[in-house]
Structure 1
Amino acid sequence: MLPTYLQRAFANPVRVLTCVSMATALVACGGGGGNPGGTSSVTPGTPTTPTPGTPTPTTPVVPAEPKMTVQLIDAAGLPITTLSGGQAGQVKVTLLDAKGNIAPNEVVKFTTDDTLLQFTPVSGSALTDASGVAVITVKPASVTAAGAVNIAAVATASGKAVNGGINLAVGAAPLTLGTIKFLPERNEAEILPAFGTAVLQIPITTGNVPAATAPGLTINSLCSNDGTASIVPGALDKGMQSVTYTNKGCLRGTDTITVSLGNFNQTIKIGVGKANIGTIQFVGSDLAGSSIVLRGSGGLGRKESSILTFRVLDQNSIGLPGVDVTFTATTTTGGLIVQPAKATSDATGAVTTTVASGTIPTPVRVVAQATRNGTTISGLSDSLIISTGLPIQKSMSLSADSYNIDGLNYDSAIAKVTVLMADQYGNPISDDTAVNFVTEGGAIATPSQGGCKTKDGGCTVELKSQAFRPLNGRVTVLAYVQGIEDFIDANGDGVYTCGKPIPADEKDPTPYRPLVDSCTFGTGEIAKDQGDPFLNVGNLAIIRGNPGGNTLQRDIDPAKDRQYNSAIGDLPFPYNHAKYDAKGNQQWGLNYIWREAEIVFSGDDPTFIRQFRDAEGNLSDWTTANGPVDTIAGLSGPGCSNQVLYFRIVDVNNNPLPSGTTVSAGDSDKVQPQSVSPNVIPATNRLGGTQHWVNIKAETNCAPGEFSIKTTTPRGKSVAKGYRSGPAAP
C-alpha cells in the first residue's frame, strides 16, 4: 500500500508534476503540517528522513496578475516623451490578462493630474481591440501650456484591476516674430529730434495665436549702446509689444534698432538729431586740496600741475558726448599754461585739461567753452591757487620749547625742537618735505628716521639727554634741508634770472632751467652764496644776548665760534664733497639750507653769584673790593634801609639751571625778603646763567638778621644760599 503523501500526490497529477520538477530544491510540496518560514539543509545524495512531528516546508503560490504597458507615440507611431504647442500624440495601452493572453474588449480609463492636457474623446476612455490595444489622442490644452504631467491608465482584465501610467513634458508653442514698424510709420530720412520719442510695434505669435508673454525678447540699438538713446518696453497686448524709443542726442545721425526673439532677428532704422548743449559743469580736480606748487618746486609729493575735469550736459542735464571744448586760463602770470587747449567730451560728457603752474603765486580759474547747433556755452572752474615754492634760507627757523633741560646728570630729559620753513613769498612749504637733524650730544628724532616731515610748514622732533654729553654741557642741534639760497627777485618774474647758466647736463641744449641748472654766482640777480653747513661742536659757545660775567665777556668772541674749525671737532654736513667750504660753491641754485640751535644739558647744583649795579646801571659780578659777598650792607645798624640783592644763578658749567626751576626766598630772621624776580628759570641757553633780584625789608629797629635764597628744580631738588644783614659802610 502507498504512503499517504504519495496517495495525495497521485490524486493530483498536476501537482505531482510540479513536485517532481522541484524535487531537487524542496523537501516536500504541499501537504499538511509544514513549517512555514522554516529552512532545511539537505546534503546532496543523502536521503532525508522526515523527523516525526516536524512540519514539511512549502513554497507560497503567487496568483498571476494581468499586465498593462503604456506608451506615448507620435503620428508615425514612434515613442515620444514631450508635446509642445498644438502637437497631438496618442497614448497607447497594451493589456494582457492574468494568463498572459491579450485582453480584447476591455475598457481603459485615462486621467491626468493637471490641466495642461486634453483627451479626445473628452471622456478619456477607450476600448481594447482584438490585439488588446486601446488608443486615445492627447494634446496640450493651449499653445501656451507648459510643464510636466502624468497620464494614468486603469483597466480590468480577468476580473482584476490593472493600472499603468507615463510621464511627459508639455511645452508652449514656439514664439514667432512678425514684421516690426514704427507707429505712425516713418522713413529713415525723417529726423527724430533730441529728446523726441517714437513708438515701435513688435507683433509676436505662438502657434499662430497672439502671444500673451514673450520671454527672451531683446531690443537694443547702436545709440542705446552709446548711452544716447533709451528703449523702454511697454505692455504686451494681444500679441503686440509696444516699445518707446527716445533719442537722447545721439551723434550717429541714423540709429539701427535690433529686435531678437529665439531664432528670429529684425532691424529697423531711424534718423536721429544731436542734442543742444545745456551747460558745462566743473566736476573737480585730482588734487587733495586746491593748490599746486610753483614751477620747479615739485617732487616729494608736491604737484606742479592739476588735471581739471568738466562735464558737458544737454538740456536735460544728461552727459553729452562728442562735443569739442576749448580751455583758457583767467591769467598766465608767471608762465602758467593750460594744456590741451582743446579736447572732446567722452561718452559721459566728461572732458579734461591740465593746468601747469608758473613761477609766481597767483589764483587762477579755467574757462571751458563749447558750441553746438549755433549755441555757445561756457563753464568756469573753481579757483586754483598757484603757491608754495621750495624753502628758502631766509625763511627757515629753528626753535625749542626748552633750551636748558635737566640733562647733565639725568637721561631722558627732553627738549622739543621745531623747524619752520617758508618759500620766497612767505608761504609755508608743502607738506611732507623731509628735514634732517644731527646733534653732537644726546639723541635726536626717532629710530625710524633721523628727522621729520613737514605739516603746515613745519615739524617737530625730540632731543633726549643721554651720552654723549659735551664737557661744557652745551649741545648743538643742526637741521638741514634742500632748498634755495637767498636772492632778490629784481624783475619780479618769480625765478632767479641767470646770466651764465651751468647746465646740469652739458649735452642738453635746453635753455636755463631754474632749480635744475645752476648759475655762475655774480652773473645774475643779487644772491647770497650759501656756505656748507657744519655741526658746531667746538668748546666755544653761541652767545645770545648779554652773557653776564666780565671775564667770560672778555675771553669769548662769538664771531669766532661760527667759523668752521676741524681741529676742535666741527663736522661738515652732509658729506657731499671732500672738504668744507665756508664761502660756498660760487653758484646759485638748489642747495642745502640750515639752521642750528644750542641746547644746554643743565646741572641741578646752583652757584649763586652776587652782582652789583654800577653808576651806568650795568650789572657786574661782585668782587672783594665791593665788600663781603654774603653781607648786605645798610640792611641793619644806624640809619638802616631796605636793600636790593642782585645775583645770578649758574650750574657747574656756567650755564642756566634747568628751565622751570623756581627761585624763592627761604628761611629769614628779623629781615623780610620779598618775592624774587624772576622767580622761575626761563627757557634759555644764556651763557652765564640767569639774573635775578629781590627786595629785602629791614627790621623796624634796624636789628641785624639773616635770610636765604633757594632754588628747586622740576625734579624737586632744593638748594639754599644764606645771606646776613650788616651796617652801612662808614
Structure 2
Amino acid sequence: MTVQATLKDADGAPIPNIVISFSSADSALASLSPSSALTNTSGVAFSRIDATSIAAVGASYVNATATFPTGSTSSSTPVTAETPYAVGAATVDMTLAVSQANISAGGTSSVTATVSINGAAPTTPMTVDFTSGCARTGKATLSTGVLTINGVATATYTDNGCGQADTVVASTSSTQKTAVITVAPPQAANIKFIGTTPESSLLVIKGTGGVGYSETAVVKFQAVDAAGTGLANQTVRFGLTTVAGGLTMENTALAVGETVSKQTDANGDVSVTVQSGTVPTAVWVTAALGTLSTQSNKVVISTGRPSQDFFSLSATKLNIDGGNYDGARTTLNIYAADRLGNIVPDGTAINFIAEGAQIVGQTTGGTASSTCTTLNGACTVDLVSAEHRPIPDSERSGISAENALPEGPTANRVTVVAYTVGEESFVDANGNNKWDTGETWDDLGDIYIDSNESLEWDENEQFIRYSANNAAECPPLPTDTPKLDNATSKPGTCDGVWGQAHVRRSMVIVLSGHTAHANTNLVNMGGGCIGVASVLVSDQWGNPMPAGSTLTVSANAVSDSTAPTAKAAEITVVPETVPSSNAPGGTWHSVKVSVGAGKCATPVSGSFDLLVSTPSESTNVTSVLPFTVNP
C-alpha cells in the first residue's frame, strides 16, 4: 500500500522540495520503498510499504521524518510523524499438474506448480521444492528448488525403478500440493548391447586377415533384471540383418530371419561371434530375450588389406634443390585401398626405404620415425636432402650419363620404396571377390631398392626379405602394361601361391644441382624472321634443374639489320619454369626468336643470354647460358 506524508509550515502552507525519510518501526514486518522522497509542490512525499514475506502478519508504525537544509526559514530541527499500519495474512494458493500421469519404466514426466498470492502471480520469484517417495529413495529423480517465472515452476520427473504410484509433493514456505504419477513396473528382464571386439567394429573381407586385421567380431550382450542385475541361464536368440557375401554367425550360415540361441552366464553376459564374408557390407547383430529385443552397433566388413593394384606413391616435387644443399624437401604421398577400392583401415603402417637422403615421417610421443600411418586411406612423409647422395649413380636409359657434364658423373637420383603388408592383385574372373584356382594373379617377391633403375635386381642392391621360405622364381614383368615397373621383385623370392605379400611402389627423386647446362647454344633462323630451338636444360649431373627454377632472357642483342633501322627481336621461352620431373637428361624448353613473320628487313642474327635461376628455397643461384642466333 502507499504511504503519504504531507509537510506544511505554521501557516498551513505546503513546503516543497524537502527530503522525507520513511521507515517501519518493525523492519521484520514490512519495508518501504523508496526509503526517502522529496515533497512536491503540494508538500506531499510518497512511498510504498510491502510485507517482508508472505508469512509476515502484525501491526506497527510507519515513521516519516522531514530534514530541513541549513538556513531553512521553515525549521532548524527535523520534524517527525508516524502512523500505524497492519499486515494481514496473505492468501497463497498453488495448483499442481503433471504432463504424463502414467509413464513406462524409465519414463519421464513434467510436474508444473502454479503459485498465486492474493489471486495474482507473485512479482518476485518464489522457490518451489519438489519431492516424492521414490525420489527420496533414489528410485526416481526430481528437480527441486525451482524458481517461479511469472508464478510457474516446472520440474522433471524421471523414473529409476520406482514401479508404482508415486505421490509428488510441491511446497512453498506457506503451502503445498500433491499429484500422483503412476510408473509401470520395469520388465522382468532387459537385454542390452555391451560392446564389440575389436572395438573399431571393423572387419576385413574373408580371406584377407592377418596381423592387425580381423575377419571375426565378438559381440557381447547382457540380460538384466529390473534392478540392472545380470540374469543367468537366459536363452537369447541372435540374428543378422544381412548375410551378404556369406556372412556367418558362430560358423553357421544363416538366412535373414534365422537365429542362433545361446545361454547367458552367471553375470548375465552372452557373446556371439560373427565371421565376415567376401563382399563389403554393414551388419547389425540382433538379440532377443522373450518379447524383448535390441541390436548391436554397426559392424563393418569393408576395408581389407591393401592390394598391390590399389597402392599408389606420388611426390609433390620430383626434383628438389638438394644436390648442393641439405634440407630441401618433397612430400611423398601414399594412397592405399583394398581390391575393391575401399580405403584401408585407419592406422595402417606404411614403411619407406631410400637409396639416399632422409625419410622424415610422423612424430609420435616426441619421437620421429620413417613411417606413416594412414588416415582416410592416405598418409605422407617427407624426403629431405642430406647425405647419402648417390655419386656416381645411373639409370636404365643411359641418358643421364650421356648428358652428365665435366663437373661430375651421373649422380643424385634417389630411388625410394614404400611398402606395407598387403595382398597380391588378381583378376576376379567369376566376380566372387576372392581368388580361385586358375585365376591370374601378380606373384610378388622381396622388395629391393633398384638403385640403377634397371628393373632388375643387382648384387649390390639392398633388399627386404618377406619370407625365408619363398624361393620360387618370380614371373617376368608384363610386357603389355607397365603397372609393375615400379613394383619389381628380387628374383627367386616368390612363392607361387596367391596371398599375402609386401605391396610396394618405388619412384626416383632427383637431388638437383644448381649449375645449369644446355644441349645447344644456337638458334638457327633459316633465313626467316622466326627461329625456334628445342633446348634440353639440365644440371651438372644430367638431371633436371630444381623444380621451380626460372628461365629468363637477358642481354638481348638480336635484330634484323644494323642501326638505325634495326628491329629488335622478341625472345620467349616456353615453359619459363622447370616443372616437377625426374626425366633423365633434363627438361625440354622451346626458345623462340621472332621479329614478326615477314617483317624482317635483313637476316636476323645476334646473341642473348639464357638465365637459369634456382628457387629461393635454398641459396638462389643463377647460371648464364650464352646463345648465338645464326641467320
Which range, TM-score by smaller chain? 0.5 to 0.7
Match of 1:473 in 2: 412
- Separation in 2, partners of 1:219, 1:412: 70
CA contact (8 A) 2:446 2:466 kept: no
- Is 2:557 aligned against 1:643? no
Q: Select 2:433's aligned residue among 494, 500, 503.
A: 494
- Separation in 2, partners of 1:581, 1:400: 28
- Is 2:610 aligned against 1:709? yes
Match of 1:13 in 2: none
Match of 1:633 in 2: 525
Q: CA deviation at 1:250?
A: 7.1
- Separation in 2, partners of 1:692, 1:494: 48
Match of 2:624 in 1: 720
Match of 1:358 in 2: 277
- Separation in 1, partners of 2:466, 2:436: 29
Match of 1:338 in 2: 249
What amino acid is aligned across from residue 473 of structure 1 in structure 2?
Answer: N
1:462 to 1:246, Cα distance in 2 relative to 1, 3 A: closer
Q: Which moved more, 1:487-496 or 1:654-663?
A: 487-496
Match of 2:346 in 1: 431
1:632 to 1:722, Cα distance in 2 relative to 1, 3 A: farther
1:665 to 1:379, Cα distance in 2 relative to 1, 3 A: same
- Separation in 1, partners of 2:466, 2:297: 46
What amino acid is aligned across from residue 662 of structure 1 in structure 2?
Answer: T
Deviations 1:363-404 (A, max 9, x none): 3233444434xxxx6555565431111112121121111111
1:474 to 1:298, Cα distance in 2 relative to 1, 3 A: same
**TM-score, structure 1 as length reference:** 0.48
- Is 2:461 aligned against 1:564? no
- Separation in 2, partners of 1:420, 1:455: 10
Q: CA deviation at 1:476?
A: 0.8
CA contact (8 A) 2:466 2:502 kept: no
1:697 to 1:220, Cα distance in 2 relative to 1, 3 A: closer
Task: Name the SS for the 1:529 alignment partner.
Answer: coil
CA contact (8 A) 1:392 1:422 kept: yes
Pairing of 1:122-141 with structure 2 (within 5 A): none
Match of 1:391 in 2: 306
Match of 2:451 in 1: 537
Q: Select 1:574's aligned residue among 458, 465, 468.
A: 465
- Is 2:357 aligned against 1:442? yes
1:234 to 1:427, Cα distance in 2 relative to 1, 3 A: closer
Task: Name the SS for the 2:332 alignment partner.
Answer: strand
Q: CA deviation at 1:435?
A: 2.0
Pairing of 1:374-413 with structure 2 (within 5 A): 379=294, 383-413=298-328
CA contact (8 A) 2:446 2:464 kept: yes
What amino acid is aligned across from residue 624 of structure 2 in structure 1?
Answer: A
Q: CA deviation at 1:649?
A: 0.2
CA contact (8 A) 1:483 1:590 kept: yes
- Separation in 2, partners of 1:249, 1:650: 82
Q: CA deviation at 1:282?
A: 7.0
CA contact (8 A) 2:522 2:627 kept: yes
- Separation in 2, partners of 1:219, 1:691: 87
Q: CA deviation at 1:695?
A: 2.3
Q: CA deviation at 1:247?
A: 7.7
- Separation in 1, partners of 2:162, 2:221: 19
Match of 1:662 in 2: 550
What amino acid is aligned across from residue 720 of structure 1 in structure 2?
Answer: V
Q: CA deviation at 1:313?
A: 10
CA contact (8 A) 2:523 2:532 kept: no
Pairing of 1:208-607 with structure 2 (within 5 A): 248-249=185-186, 251=188, 291-298=202-209, 301-306=212-217, 308=219, 324-339=235-250, 341-343=260-262, 353-372=272-291, 379=294, 383-446=298-361, 448-471=368-391, 472-497=411-436, 525-538=439-452, 541=453, 561-566=454-459, 569-574=460-465, 576-577=467-468, 581-582=491-492, 584-607=494-517
What amino acid is aligned across from residue 364 of structure 1 in structure 2?
Answer: V
- Separation in 2, partners of 1:495, 1:532: 24
1:597 to 1:404, Cα distance in 2 relative to 1, 3 A: same
Q: CA deviation at 1:631?
A: 4.9
Unaligned ranges ≥5, structure 1: 1-193, 196-217, 236-243, 252-274, 499-523, 542-560, 611-628
- Separation in 2, partners of 1:250, 1:677: 81
- Separation in 2, partners of 1:653, 1:394: 34
Deviations 1:619-670 (A, max 9, x none): xxxxxxxxxx535334xxxx64122222110112211001111112223133
CA contact (8 A) 1:319 1:350 kept: no
CA contact (8 A) 1:535 1:570 kept: yes
CA contact (8 A) 2:522 2:630 kept: no
Q: CA deviation at 1:220?
A: 13
Task: Name the SS for the 1:597 alignment partner.
Answer: strand
What amino acid is aligned across from residue 630 of structure 1 in structure 2?
Answer: L
1:572 to 1:301, Cα distance in 2 relative to 1, 3 A: closer
- Separation in 2, partners of 1:352, 1:229: 30
CA contact (8 A) 1:227 1:347 kept: no
Q: Name the larger-Rg structure.
A: 1
- Separation in 2, partners of 1:531, 1:219: 70
Q: Percent identical across equivalent pairs? A: 32
CA contact (8 A) 1:673 1:694 kept: no
**TM-score, structure 2 as length reference:** 0.55
- Separation in 2, partners of 1:651, 1:691: 13
Q: Select 1:679's aligned residue among 570, 573, 576.
A: 576
- Separation in 2, partners of 1:630, 1:246: 99
Deviations 1:239-270 (A, max 9, x none): xxxxx99882575xxxxxxxxxxxxxxxxxxx
The count of aligned residue pairs is: 399
- Separation in 2, partners of 1:396, 1:469: 27
1:247 to 1:688, Cα distance in 2 relative to 1, 3 A: closer
CA contact (8 A) 1:319 1:349 kept: no
Q: CA deviation at 1:351?
A: 7.1
1:679 to 1:290, Cα distance in 2 relative to 1, 3 A: farther
1:631 to 1:456, Cα distance in 2 relative to 1, 3 A: closer
- Separation in 1, partners of 2:289, 2:336: 44
Task: Name the SS for the 2:346 alignment partner.
Answer: coil
What amino acid is aligned across from residue 418 of structure 2 in structure 1?
Answer: A
RMSD: 4.2
Deviations 1:295-345 (A, max 9, x none): 35456654444455678899xx99797574422113223332235933568
Task: Name the SS for the 1:334 alignment partner.
Answer: helix
- Separation in 1, partners of 2:162, 2:223: 13
CA contact (8 A) 2:319 2:544 kept: yes
1:654 to 1:285, Cα distance in 2 relative to 1, 3 A: same
CA contact (8 A) 1:312 1:349 kept: yes
CA contact (8 A) 1:407 1:465 kept: yes
Q: CA deviation at 1:489?
A: 3.1
Pairing of 1:79-98 with structure 2 (within 5 A): none
Q: CA deviation at 1:532?
A: 2.2
- Separation in 2, partners of 1:527, 1:473: 35
